[in-house]
Chains A and B, each alone.
Chain A
Amino acid sequence: MLVIVAWEGGIALFHVQQFLLPKPSEIVRAFWTDRGTLWPAGWYTFKEALGGFAVGSTLGILAATFVGRFKTVGAAFMPIAIAANAVPIIAFAPIFDVWFNPLSPKSKMAIAAVLCFLPVMVNTLRGLQSANPRQIELMRSYAASDLEIWRRVRVPTALPFVFTALKVASVLAMIGAIVGEYFGGAFTALGVLINSDAQIFHFVTAWAGILLASMLGLALYGAVVVAERVLVRWAPATREA
């Protein structure tokens, strides 16, 4: 809040060129007056991010579940996954555009999905492997099957790890969709709108687009937090947060 006041006041005080850095009040006004083009564009991009988030996270969880079943594979895979995580995936965006057709939302979904996949997979795998050995011993004393141990010990232990990853992935998905659109996309997409407005010095509209993108990113993040509160109610960390 203080930042916004300082921003608004600072611009008025130092006579900053309006087109370079508009006042927050101007941005909010543009956000409202351009709602006809801006909001549908936001929704269009949000659906791309959501689709990519869903696909990437699901695949990440499935891959971790599969790899986690086999200890040696998991141990061998971990360093590769961490190395792969360091690859700047966003750099592949132009290639995905060609593969999936830049005008199709699928190309942006693909970028968002690839961005989400690794953190979700690495964290889920770590979670599945973090089960307390005593708890597993206890379950074995009850003659529990591997499947029961998985369901009653490994999955609950992994859940907080999964949600930590999903929170990261929710932000990455929105970044992936928007940056993907910077390299070209449908005229109805938010990233394309921001990019073209910035190029023709419509900075107020570009800023309004960024504001909308932030709100949508926060909404996705918030949805994950709500799901976490419901599903991981028991964890001391969730309770204190």
Chain B
Amino acid sequence: MSDKQPVVSVMNVTKTFAQGNVTALQDIELELKPGEFVSLIGPSGCGKSTLLRIIGDLVPPTSGSVTVNGKPAKQARIDRDYGIVFQDAVLFDWRTVAKNIALPLEMLGWDKEKRRARVAEMLELMELKGFGDHHPWQLSGGMQQRASIARAFAFEPALLLMDEPFGALDEMTRERLNLELLSIWQRLQSTVVFVTHSISEAVFLSTRVVVMSPRPGRIAGIVDIDLPDPRSVETREQPRFFELVTEVRELLRKRGEHLLPEEQELL
């Protein structure tokens, strides 16, 4: 795998915000190989969402550079090389679910027939069959997020950026969507960058977990997740799962000694 061209390389990236002179990220180095599922985890203020946005060229780095598919991040964005999912579903109320999923396809200039076929496929894949003609506000939170994932995967981007996509959902829905996400990831063989607050979610989903620490945002350590694939409901019950969760937690705690008490509680 190491001989393949990385999907994402983050080289020496630093980000400071002029307001309040905050260093959100300092000297970040990270490489993602094709097909990897990498989680970014850390307490609030560690810059994990900012890093995701820098990879997507939605926020410029102060120094350093990012390449996606061997291209500068900006070119990759213009070429629509990645899909993005936010914590909120960010669906357009004035579009039906089907039309929301078709949005990136419209932007890519797909013809109507091709769009319709792909949307039907995505609705089926994300268990939204029969809801294509509904409006977003007629769906539950979990279904809205499914639609938003369907939209991100619809044009089969090589890279998927996910910013705490399941953070607002209840535990049951979250675990089910975790499994659905893994199955669609394996099917489409994409590369995923996944920002989360949840240690167990990160360990369950990922091939690698990047642990970050705040002020300034740095990479505290990277944990390789050697759980057997495909992951299933039983994965969470394996001793190795608990060992890895502990390893990530220790890493977070070690780097979190200078945190405020209420931030430490989160660990």
Q: Which residues of A contact B (CB under 8 A)?
A: 132, 134-135, 137-138, 140-144, 148, 152-153, 156, 159, 232, 234-236
Decide: B90 and A138 in contact? CB cutoff 8 A. Answer: yes
Determine the chain B residues whose CB is within 8 A of the CB of A132 once the complex forms: 90
Decide: B77 and A134 in contact? CB cutoff 8 A. Answer: no
Q: If the complex has contacts A141-B77, A144-B107, A234-B95, are A134 and B58 also in contact, measured as CB distance less than 8 A?
A: no
Decide: B82 and A153 in contact? CB cutoff 8 A. Answer: no
Decide: A141 and B92 in contact? CB cutoff 8 A. Answer: no
Q: Which residues of B contact A (CB under 8 A)?
A: 56, 58, 77-80, 82-84, 86, 88, 90, 92-95, 103-104, 107-108, 135, 137
Instruction: Using A141-B82, A142-B108, A159-B94 as known contacts, list a sample of 18 further A-B pairs with CB atoms less than 8 Å apart, ordered by residue number in A.
Output: A132-B90, A134-B86, A134-B88, A134-B90, A135-B90, A135-B92, A137-B58, A141-B56, A142-B104, A143-B77, A148-B107, A152-B103, A156-B92, A232-B94, A234-B93, A234-B95, A236-B135, A236-B137
- Nearest-neighbor residue (CB-CB) of B151 within chain A: A138
In the complex the two chains form, what is the Cα distance from A232 to B95 in whole Å?
11
Decide: A143 and B94 in contact? CB cutoff 8 A. Answer: no
In the complex the two chains form, what is the Cα distance from A156 to B91 in whole Å?
13
In the complex the two chains form, what is the Cα distance from A161 to B92 in whole Å?
16
Decide: A236 and B80 in contact? CB cutoff 8 A. Answer: no
Determine the chain B residues whose CB is within 8 A of the CB of A134 once the complex forms: 86, 88, 90
Decide: B58 and A141 in contact? CB cutoff 8 A. Answer: yes
Q: Which one, B80, B83, B88, B103, contacts A143 given CB within 8 A? A: B80
25 A-B pairs with C-beta separation under 8 A: A132-B90, A134-B88, A134-B90, A135-B90, A137-B58, A138-B86, A140-B77, A141-B56, A142-B103, A142-B104, A142-B108, A143-B78, A143-B79, A143-B80, A143-B107, A144-B107, A148-B107, A152-B92, A152-B103, A156-B92, A156-B94, A234-B93, A234-B94, A235-B93, A236-B135
In the complex the two chains form, what is the Cα distance from A153 to B103 in whole Å?
12
- Nearest-neighbor residue (CB-CB) of B99 within chain A: A234
